[in-house]
Chain A
Amino acid sequence: MNELPQQLANGLILGAMYGLIAIGYTMVYGIVQLINFAHGEIFMVGGFGALTVHLWLPDNFALGAAIPLMILGGVIVSVAVATAAERFAYRPLRTAPRLAPLITAIGLSIVLQQVVWMWYPDAKKDRPFPQFEGGPFDVFGANIQRGDLFVLIAAPVCMIALGFFVTKTRSGRGMQATAQDPDTAKLMGINTDRIIVMAFAIGAAFAAIAAVAYGLKNGQVGFRMGFLMGLKAFTAAVLGGIGNIYGAMLGGLVLGVAESLATGYIGDIPGMSLFGGGAWKDVWAFALLILVLLLRPQGLLGERVADRA
């Protein structure tokens, strides 16, 4: 059972990634009640953006120093795509029945996947992502790879920054107001359009950071990486309470740890020996979602969605 720290560590690392992506889903849903299907692909293009920066840098550039630049590159690409999507695909449909923006989001997600697949050089297969040299650290019995350190630092930093933004800055409070009641917010002089753009942008930025983490952890990025990660991240957002940004991160962590533990230990349960291992991890994630919806549909920390009735 000294695997446990390892499994926990894996779970937290994975969960932090889910959480960062989930922020994007939850913020957008909380304000405009739209499941931004393309958010998984925003995550994906962020990863490719970061990769591109790395490819431009000279060969002997230290990875540690390159990381901030890569993050910047990824963020720029993600935010650009997300805000363009909001402006040209979603905004015209804001008054349309709910189905229209959802279908548009699905279409956009497919388009983004295909664009990368077709036009990014060599993207038909997964492309390798730079890795840190050196061995893992031993923390309480768990091996932590150097690359994983990134997300363990980045996630808390991002959450603190976001918390500060939402509670202490004018724009942040405007975002809370818009999330609760967009019409009144408008009457109070808040530029709700700008707020919505901000929500998309922040979500995209966080997703790009998660993509860098993903690349560092898995050693590769591919055009399909957004689909399953996106699905699970939305699950995490629902788990934590949709619209609730702390819920998103919490949900991500819970989901990551649950997946890890299930993968590691389900096989030990008598009779379930065949069900252990990585092949089933997505199934457990989904099962967790169903369970939460059955028992506590508002999520762990409660929903925060504007009443659009």
Chain B
Amino acid sequence: MTTKNPAATTTDTTKSPTAQATPLIPLPPTAARALTIAGSAAALIGTFLAWTWTDEFPGNLTVTGYPGGLQVLTLVGAALTLLFALSGYGIRGLGWLTPGGTNSPVLLLALGVLGTTGYAMGAISDELGGLVNLDPGAWISGIGSLIAVIGAFGLPVDQPYDDGDPTPHLWGRIRHSLTAPEPGRAKDLPSWAEILIIAAGFGAGLYVFAYGIGTEYSELFIGFLIIAAFGFTALTRAGLLKRLSALTAKHRNVNLAAAFVAAICFPFTQSNDQFALIGANILIFATVALGLNVVVGLAGLLDLGYVAFLGVGAYAAALVSGSPQSSIGVHFPFWAAVLTGAAASLIFGVVIGAPTLRLRGDYLAIVTLGFGEIFRITMNNLNGNSGPDVTIGSNGIPNIPDLEIFGFNLGLPHDVAGHELTRSGNYYLLMLLFTAIVVMVFRRSAESRIGRAWVAIREDETAATAMGINSFRLKLLAFALGASLAGLAGTVQSHVSYSVTPEQYQFAGSVPPNSAFLLAAVILGGMGTISGPLIGAALLYLIPAKLQFMADYQLLLFGLALMLLMRFRPEGLVADRRKQLEFHETGQLDVPEDAPLPEGATGVAKAGA
């Protein structure tokens, strides 16, 4: 079964704390755990009471017995905290929850609950004008969560200090108490059980994601972000995510299938077209980010004008879409429009890449940046005044007709098995197909001779050429492939947005996608990985969309986030294991077991030679 410290099966008193392992708040372990449980219980109970007396604060927090809005978040968080705290008692059946760290998840969850509840209380006071607006329920939850945190800080630290390391000062100890050892290998379960677990994991993930998209007001979204961030980290420290990813690595194809099933189910969970539209746009953004990932993440080419390829595809598709304003009066069937868009982007990719890819990489950055701007300016100028009227200039080409594929009109809502698919839902599913294609292209090219050559070029181009790699040809291949993938996504985008305008394709603006955001999505998410840019794109699209009230500060925070990210976590959220080692000199090595040396291997120095 899971490797658990036998001392923890009874109470924690048998674990003799060394001076280094003393928790931050010196409490006897039993008391600490009791406090944690009591506090979380209080927080939980408080959510059933009213938190405020007026409806003005959204979420209807005035009703006793029916937790709503932010109360639900606190409820979930407190329940999880209780669960994990109880598992620390060694209760049978709960041990599987914490293969990694036992106490750090509790601490993190407690902090999350405190964060969400504290934020809720603060928001209520701030919006309604004073702490007096808080009802007893809020205070109970708030104080309960505080007690839980205090108790959690009193729990023994999971990760032992290395021998000989001096005990760090306060902030270091706080950070250290949030770390946990890695879980050991799990016992193998029968395949069907493992697959079920994967499916359950994706189901849970889908639910959380849909909840996040569906939040209707920004306070709820912020509370959601807080509890989600802490909760996610808690699950990581508990080792559950490592276990899950080990399972998914074992059943890679099931993993991919489950992901897509979950993604397919998404639009059915949204009866509101607006959220399905957000979903569709996230997919477009994510697919383009994945295309950029081929260029930047695999081959290491810095493309700063990537969104222009999206635009080329979109404009090409718009021009052949049969829109009455299109200057080319043709109406291609969908598959032809897609090919046109991809081909147009491909051509531009080659045209831009061929002269510049022979030169040092920084030149590529500037040239692509320039191309991005030039594309926008040109589309703007081809309006009959400054140039031949091809694109109607800044108003763009409107009224792009909805697609009809095999008689299925994507513009109209449809009924599928009792659930309604809105227009955006239709386009979402279409885009999902394209995303699947792009994911497949990415994965297959990365795990091949070509992909290895790309990574080699990225690592050390001189050495790569010495190995016989024609670096120019391969760089051009990556660049052109990336361009066509973006063009592909662009064809769908033009239909989703009904029109194409030049302003959509800037270097940096407040509305994604734009080149800076795309680059950020790839880097933030994690270069060279599949899930990285997808997650990065989702976050980067969602956060500005949800936090509209911060619209003015968005770009500023975005710029700051980029700078901080590069300083402290340049490998991004989903760290490609290699990238993490590249950016940090980590002490922990993910080193596999050595196989025994075969007999008679030459070149091995024999002892006494």
**A–B direct touch in complex (beta carbons closer than 8 A):** yes
Question: Footprint of B on A, CB under 8 Å?
Answer: 29, 33, 35, 89, 92-93, 96-104, 106-111, 113-115, 118, 227-228, 231, 234-235, 238, 274-275, 277, 279-280, 282-283, 286, 289-290, 293-294, 297, 309
Given A103-B519, A293-B356, also A108-B563 (CB < 8 A): yes
- Min C-beta distance of A139 to chain B, whole Å: 31
Which chain A residues lie closer than 8 Å to B565 at the CB level?
A: 103
Told that A29-B362, A238-B366, A309-B462 touch, could you supply 4 new A-B pairs with CB distance under 8 A? A96-B566, A231-B369, A274-B385, A280-B381
Expressed in whole angstroms, the Cα–Cα distance for A280 and B567 within the complex equals 39
Known contacts A104-B566, A280-B381; A110 and B556 CB within 8 A of each other: yes
| Contact between chains at A114 and B559 (CB < 8 Å) | yes
Measured between beta carbons, the chain A residues less than 8 angstroms from B523 are: 99, 103
- Of the candidates B356, B380, B553, B562, the one having the most CB atoms from chain A within 10 angstroms of its own CB is B562
Q: How far is the CA of A12 from the CA of B340 in the complex (A)?
A: 43
In the complex, whether B206 has a CB less than 8 A from a CB of chain A is no
Smallest CB separation, A296 vs chain B (Å) = 11
CB <8 Å contact, B378 and A111 = no
Complex CA gap A111/B558 in Å reads 8
Known: A104-B567, A106-B562, A282-B373. A111 touches B362 (CB 8 A): no
**In the complex, chain B residues whose CB is within 8 Å of the CB of A35:** 362, 365-366
23 A-B pairs with CB atoms under 8 Å apart are A29-B362, A93-B567, A96-B570, A99-B302, A100-B570, A102-B302, A104-B563, A104-B566, A106-B559, A107-B563, A110-B516, A110-B555, A111-B563, A114-B553, A118-B552, A231-B370, A238-B363, A274-B385, A275-B387, A279-B377, A282-B373, A289-B370, A290-B356
Q: Given the interface contacts A103-B523, A107-B561, A110-B508, does A93 sit within 8 Å of B362 by beta carbon? A: no
Cβ of B371 and Cβ of A286 under 8 Å apart? yes
B388 cross-chain contacts in A, Cβ below 8 A: 274
Binary A-proximity of B535-562 (CB < 8 A = 1, otherwise 0) = 0000000000000000011011011111
In the complex, what distance in Å separates the CA atom of A228 from the CA atom of B380?
Answer: 16
Enumerate chain B residues within 8 angstroms of A100, measured Cβ to Cβ: 566, 570, 583
Chain B residues in the interface with A (C-beta under 8 A): 296, 300, 302, 304, 355-356, 358-359, 361-363, 365-367, 369-371, 373-374, 377-378, 380-381, 385-388, 462, 507-508, 516, 519-520, 523, 552-553, 555-556, 558-563, 565-567, 570, 582-583
Q: Which residues of A contact B559 (CB under 8 A)?
A: 106-111, 113-114
User: Chain B contacts of A99 at CB under 8 A?
Assistant: 296, 300, 302, 523, 570
From known contacts A96-B570, A100-B570, A290-B355, infer whether A110 and B562 are also in contact, taking CB-CB under 8 Å: yes
A100 to B296, CA, bound (A): 12
Which residues of the partner chain B approach A109 to less than 8 Å between Cβ atoms? 559
Looking at the assembled complex, report how far the CB atom of A303 sits from the nearest CB atom of chain B, in whole angstroms: 9
Closest partner residue, chain A, to B393 (CB atom): A279
Of B355, B520, B566, which is in contact with the most chain A CB atoms at under 10 Å from its CB? B566
CB-CB under 8 A from B387, the residues of chain A are: 274-275, 279-280
| Residues of chain A contacted by B359 (CB below 8 angstroms) | 293, 297
Task: Indicate whether A293 sits within 8 Å of B355 (C-beta atoms), given known contacts A92-B567, A101-B566, A107-B562.
Answer: yes
Q: Cα distance A102–B387 when bound, in Å?
A: 35
Instruction: Determine if B367 and A289 form an interchain contact, defined as CB atoms under 8 angstroms apart.
Output: yes
The one of B296, B355, B380, B519 that contacts A106, using a Cβ cutoff of 8 Å: B519
